Structure 1
Amino acid sequence: MQQRPSEAEVVNLIFQEYAAGQSARAIASALNAEGIAAPQSGKGTGTWNPSTISGNVKRGTVILNNELYAGRRVWNRLTYDRDPDTGKRQSRLNPPSKWKTKTVPDLRIVDDALWGRVKAHQDDVRQAMNPAGILTDRP
């Protein structure tokens, strides 16, 4: 019987594959084909999808943007308010100056070099998908 990889091994594999140029879609497909269960959430199906891997860079969500994997715990990224008309909770991104960060080396899964390669690849992908420069910050 084949031993299932630990969560840390799966996270490290995702980082390695993405840094090597694999897309989040290709990585999710391979993980599903290998029968590796995705993280469970309230609405989770137990299968991987690209957004589980790539998430939201600004909000620091899911696998490739979770600084905890690089040994940094970040909190106070978001503020939550209720819409007075609908009563639904809405999240708003706080400015980085309000974020709180603590180094937690015992929780590190990927080293700084791998983290940096993934961030560089994400930047390259974003630029390739934004040829007109619409999303680029302008002076």
Structure 2
Amino acid sequence: MIRWVFRQYADGVWPRGIAKKLNDQGMAKWRDTAVGGHVSRGTGVLNNETHIGRVVSNRRNYR
């Protein structure tokens, strides 16, 4: 599924469109923010460094 999301994005589909396609396929309930996320925080499928093989720890700190 992760590779599919990246392929869709590389083909020019925006996160909102990817989320809609996932929802249409019955893949739980997706929102565009879950796909795109936040760049500086490294959230979302497209911005999560784990999906490109990079291990990141202590990214966020909740107080």
Provide TM-score, normalisation by structure 2: 0.88
Distance 1:26 1:16 in 2: 13
Q: CA RMSD in A?
A: 1.1
| CA deviation after TM superposition for structure 1 residue 22, in Å | 0.3
> Which protein has the larger Cα radius of gyration, Structure 1 or Structure 2?
1
Q: Which has the higher strand share?
A: 1
Question: In structure 1, what is the equivalent of residue 27 of structure 2?
Answer: 36
- Per the TM alignment, residue 73 of structure 1 is displaced from its structure 2 partner at its CA by 1.0
Alignment partner of 1:50 is 2:32: yes
1:67 aligns to 2:49 (yes or no): yes
TM superposition shift of 1:78: 2.4
SS of aligned partner of 1:65: coil
In 1, the alpha carbon distance for the partners of 2:37 and 2:57 equals: 17
- 1:23 alignment partner in structure 2: 14
The aligned runs of 1:119-130 (5 Å cut-off) are: none
Task: For residue 77 of structure 1, give the secondary structure of its aligned residue in structure 2.
Answer: coil
Secondary structure in 1 aligned to 2:20? helix
Q: Give the partner amino acid of 1:25.
A: R
Give the partner amino acid of 2:17.
A
Residue type at the aligned position of 1:63 = V
> C-alpha distance in 2, partners of 1:68/1:80?
20
Structure 1 segments (4+ residues) deviating >4 Å? none
Unaligned runs of 5+ residues in structure 2 are: none
| Aligned residue-pair number | 63
The percent of aligned pairs where both chains have the same amino acid is 43
Name the amino acid aligned to 1:59: R
Runs of 5+ unmatched residues, structure 1: 1-9, 38-46, 82-139
TM-score with structure 1 length normalisation? Answer: 0.43
